[in-house]
């Protein structure tokens, strides 16, 4: 956490921050920092302004403080505390960059370049979709796509587990097509596709998808196909008291620009009427919601998690229907 503040009438906060000195306090201090700063955030305490952000380092010195805005000199581009006076310049140019923070920054930069690197590689693959070309460029695929994609999977795995309240597993799909299902198609798919499964302990885990295509980024969540008794529970939930809530949650996502995968059935299945109010959803034998994700200049991992958090209220209802409880 990096706790930063400025203003005039905030002696309480300054005494607490100054007492920390130059000590680095990583994730274990997060709760303490938030707990002590939160009563002062946005309460009009003398115009004090607090900015609490996970950055991995805390830099401060006692006495009078002022805001030093030197993003190119501080870790992760976040300004740090400095003392007024002669030492200001020295502290403004000091950057505390412990190995773990440096590793996280490098991973963040790799995430931010993953999309342009993947799209560049897949465009060239699309123009030269042959085994010989891919094998000649496999080292580039591993370095620029596979390695950062694997790191992204691992970085978001605990965050998705926290979101869903269960364990999470990951899958990075290969570019090779399954010839059994793609006869006559080129041997490789020109997109990078990965998936998180959470909660993983469910009989049928909920899927969280990220696909980097040639000209867009797609994020999604849901169940590709309801298996076994899950299909009957899904239809019973739609026809029952939970149907309105599921329909409203899915409709809210649609109103925000998301879209559903096309239904599997052309007609509403028996014994439900063609005029059933949940008829459009009853035609689905699985339910996945997708959206186009604008490519952010930085913090790509946070952008993906933001989309997943948007999907979760609807997916939580669907998961509850499959588990036959609210």
Question: Omega of the bond prior to 199 within 30 degrees of 0, cis?
Answer: yes
Structure tokens at 264: 């599997």
pLDDT of res. 204: 87
C-alpha pair distances (Å), 59 with each of 26, 81, 246: 12, 6, 48
pLDDT value of position 107? 62
Q: What is the pLDDT of residue 198?
A: 93
Q: Which positions ≥6 away from 273 have C-beta within 8 Å?
A: 279
Residue 135's pLDDT is what?
96
CA distances from 58 to 50, 95, 108, 149, 234 (A): 14, 11, 19, 30, 49
Domains of the chain (ranges; CATH) run 2-92 (no CATH), 100-322 (3.30.930)
Residues of the chain with pLDDT under 70: 1-108, 325-326
- CA contacts within 13 A on the Cβ side of 271: 1
**Quick one: pLDDT at residue 257?**
94
Give, as one character, the DSSP assignment of residue 269.
Answer: P
Paired tokens of 157: 């795995």
Q: Rg (Cα) of the chain, in Å, rounded? A: 25
pTM over 0.75: no
Q: Contacts from 99-106 at CB under 8 Å and sequence distance 24+?
A: 100/26, 100/56, 101/55, 101/56, 101/57, 101/75, 101/76, 104/56, 105/75, 105/76
Q: Following DSSP, what letter does each residue of 217-265 receive, concatenated?
A: EEEEEEESS--THHHHHHHHHHHSTTHHHHHHHHHHHHHTT-EEPPPS-
Rounded distance between C-alpha atoms, residue 250 and residue 290, angstroms: 11
Concatenating the DSSP letter of every residue in 90-110 gives HHHT-----HHHHHHHHHHHH
| pLDDT on residue 3 | 41
> How remote is the C-alpha of 120 from its chain's centroid?
22
Residue with tokens 């938030």, as numbered in its chain: 34
Which pLDDT belongs to residue 178? Answer: 83
pLDDT at 201: 83
């Amino acid at each position: 956490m990096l706790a930063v503040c400025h203003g005039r009438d905030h002696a309480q906060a300054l005494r607490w921050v100054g007492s920390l000195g130059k000590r680095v306090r990583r994730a274990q201090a997060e709760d303490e920092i938030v707990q002590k700063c939160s009563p002062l955030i946005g309460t009009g305490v003398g115009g004090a302004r607090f900015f609490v952000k996970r950055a991995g380092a805390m830099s401060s010195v006692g006495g009078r403080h002022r805001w030093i805005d030197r993003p190119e000199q501080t870790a992760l581009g976040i300004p740090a505390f400095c003392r007024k006076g002669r030492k200001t310049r020295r502290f403004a140019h000091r950057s505390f960059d412990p190995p773990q923070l440096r590793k996280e920054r490098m991973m963040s930069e790799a995430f931010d370049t993953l999309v342009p690197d993947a799209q560049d590689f897949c465009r060239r693959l699309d123009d030269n979709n042959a085994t010989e070309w891919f094998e000649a460029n496999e080292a580039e695929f591993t370095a620029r796509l596979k390695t950062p994609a694997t790191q992204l999977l691992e970085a978001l795995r605990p965050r998705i587990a926290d979101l869903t309240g269960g364990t999470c597993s990951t899958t990075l799909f290969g570019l090779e097509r399954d010839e059994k299902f793609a006869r006559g198609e080129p041997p490789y798919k020109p997109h990078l596709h990965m998936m998180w499964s959470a909660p993983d302990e469910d009989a049928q885990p909920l899927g969280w998808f990220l696909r980097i295509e040639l000209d867009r980024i797609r994020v999604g969540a849901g169940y590709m196909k309801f298996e076994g008794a899950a299909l009957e529970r899904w239809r019973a939930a739609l026809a029952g008291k939970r149907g309105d809530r599921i329909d409203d949650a899915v409709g809210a996502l649609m109103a925000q620009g998301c879209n559903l995968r096309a239904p599997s059935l052309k007609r509403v299945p028996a014994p439900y009427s063609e005029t059933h109010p949940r008829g459009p959803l009853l035609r689905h034998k699985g339910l996945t919601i997708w959206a186009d994700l604008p490519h952010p200049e930085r913090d790509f991992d946070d952008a993906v998690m933001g989309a997943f958090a948007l999907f979760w209220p609807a997916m939580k209802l669907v998961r509850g229907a499959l588990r036959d409880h609210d």
